[in-house]
């Protein structure tokens, strides 16, 4: 029930985290945060987004950020691209992976990108083709995969349809997003067991938000269901500007702490990760929701209390 197979963590704080911040996170500080994260042992970093600046002003500096990072060998640097124009901009930078995104909810997809699901998939086929021709990796997000604030429960058939469409485009990995934290552990197991049966050669990742305090419980359920790739955000920052009730992603340091305490290797240096989280908190100027940013990892040598064992 509790295997000890290593997990890969995809750090999404510089993108999914900062897009929700009301104040602009300065460009130099964005670059410094990403460079700090590059020193932690993380091997996957989502660093910006090539959406139109009028849609998410936080990323009006996407080109500058992506072009001025101290890229570390062995780390994959990624960014979402919503359309052909965004892809063209991304291809002018050293970014190695392009992330596509479609909502499994028709209503949310229209609010997010002003297109139907069919229209989004048709447009992304051209983006995927551009990326593959340029030698880029492709990652695909299935947004609101577990529930939608506008439509409620999302049928699994809609999720599988998008995964199959991604596979046809050449996407090598899909990430199922609990965009507003509506999922529960039982549902998570059921969804991922079904997805893993049909995903075949496509890697599958989990992307949880902690809107209702179930983020880590859902991550553990996903791990037990066979998922070994997890998205998380330094400090727990993040959300979705077009989804009612969206709150922060699970904090990377909380996820690392839980996994490592269970003897599940993450390859991440916890102390260096906390340094990056403290830096993000300092720049944002308010307390972040991360638990271990406040408490650190358990100090078993100095633990007190009564031994009930």
CATH number of domain containing 18? 3.20.20.70
Residue in this structure with the two tokens 């993108």, named with its chain if needed:
15
Q: Is 226 among the domain residues?
A: yes
Write out pLDDT tens, residues 230-245: 999 999 997 554 444 4
Q: Taking residues 164-169, what's their average pLDDT?
A: 97
Give the chain's domain count.
Answer: 1
Q: Is 13 among the domain residues?
A: yes
Q: Is 309 among the domain residues?
A: no
Distance CA 32, CA 276 (A): 9
Tokens representing residue 86 in the block: 């965004």
Q: What pLDDT does residue 248 have?
A: 80
Regarding predicted confidence, which is higher, 211 or 177?
177
Give the closest residue to 42 by CA, choosing from 233, 284, 262: 233
State the chain's maximal CA–CA distance in angstroms.
62
Q: Is 303 among the domain residues?
A: no
178 touches 145 (CB < 8 A): yes
Query: How far from 139 is each of 6, 78, 80, 171, 213, CA to CA, in Å?
Result: 20, 9, 9, 6, 27
Q: Is 301 among the domain residues?
A: no
Write out pLDDT tens, residues 94-149: 999 999 999 999 989 898 888 999 999 999 999 999 999 999 999 999 999 999 98
Give the closest residue to 160 by CA, choosing from 196, 133, 134: 196
- 43: burial class by Cβ within 10 Å (0-12, 13-18, 19+)? middle
Write down the mean pLDDT value for the chain: 92
φ and ψ of 180, to 5 deg: -120, 20
Tokens representing residue 166 in the block: 């991604």
Write out pLDDT tens, residues 248-290: 899 999 999 999 999 999 999 999 999 999 999 999 998 999 9
* For residue 304, pLDDT beyond 90: no
Span of 30-44, 191-205, 244-258 with lowest mean pLDDT: 244-258
Number of C-beta neighbours around residue 201 at 10 A: 6
DSSP character at residue 191: H
φ and ψ of 251, to 5 deg: -75, 135
Q: Is 1 among the domain residues?
A: no
Tokens representing residue 150 in the block: 């506008």
* For residue 307, pLDDT beyond 50: no
Q: Is 76 helix (H, G, I), strand (E, B) or coil?
A: strand
Q: Is 304 among the domain residues?
A: no
Distance CA 107, CA 116 (A): 8
Q: Residues 87, 148, 240, 257: which is the catalytic one?
A: 240
Give the closest residue to 278 by CA, choosing from 6, 4, 40: 40
- Cα angle 196, 201, 207 (rounded to 5 degrees) comes to 50
User: For residue 217, how many C-alpha atoms fall within 13 Å in the half-sphere facing its CB?
Assistant: 12
Examine the residue annotation and report whether 148 is marked as an active-site residue of this protein. no
DSSP 194-224: HHHHH-TTSEEEEEEB-TTS-HHHHHHHHHH
Q: Is 300 among the domain residues?
A: no
Q: Domain containing 124: what range? A: 8-295
Write out pLDDT tens, residues 72-92: 999 999 999 999 999 999 999
């Amino acid at each position: 029930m509790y295997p000890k197979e290593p997990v890969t963590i995809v750090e999404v704080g510089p993108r999914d985290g900062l897009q929700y911040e009301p104040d602009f996170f300065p460009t130099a500080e964005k670059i410094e945060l990403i460079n700090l994260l590059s020193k932690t042992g993380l091997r996957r970093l989502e660093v910006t987004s090539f959406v139109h600046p009028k849609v998410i002003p936080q990323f009006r500096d996407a080109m500058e950020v992506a072009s001025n990072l101290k890229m570390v060998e062995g780390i994959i640097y990624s960014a979402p691209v919503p359309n052909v124009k965004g892809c063209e901009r991304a291809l002018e930078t050293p970014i190695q992976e392009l992330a596509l995104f479609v909502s499994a909810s028709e209503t949310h997809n229209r609010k997010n990108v002003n297109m139907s699901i069919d229209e989004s998939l048709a447009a992304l086929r051209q983006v995927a083709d551009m990326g593959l021709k340029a030698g880029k990796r492709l990652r695909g997000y299935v947004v609101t995969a577990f529930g939608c604030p506008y439509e409620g429960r999302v049928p699994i058939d809609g999720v599988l349809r998008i995964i199959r469409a991604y596979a046809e485009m050449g996407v090598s990995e899909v990430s199922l997003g609990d965009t507003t934290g509506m999922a529960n552990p039982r549902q998570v197991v059921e969804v991922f067991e079904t997805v893993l049966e049909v995903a075949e050669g496509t890697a599958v990742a989990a992307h949880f938000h902690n809107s209702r305090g179930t983020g880590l419980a859902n991550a553990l359920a996903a791990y037990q269901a066979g998922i070994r790739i997890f998205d998380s955000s330094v400090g727990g920052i993040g959300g979705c500007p077009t989804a009612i009730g969206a709150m922060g992603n699970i904090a990377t340091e909380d996820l690392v702490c839980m996994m490592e305490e269970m003897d599940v290797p993450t390859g991440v240096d916890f102390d260096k990760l906390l340094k990056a989280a403290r830096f993000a908190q300092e720049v944002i100027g308010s307390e972040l929701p991360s638990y271990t940013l406040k408490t650190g990892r358990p100090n078993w040598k100095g633990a007190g209390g009564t031994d009930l064992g």
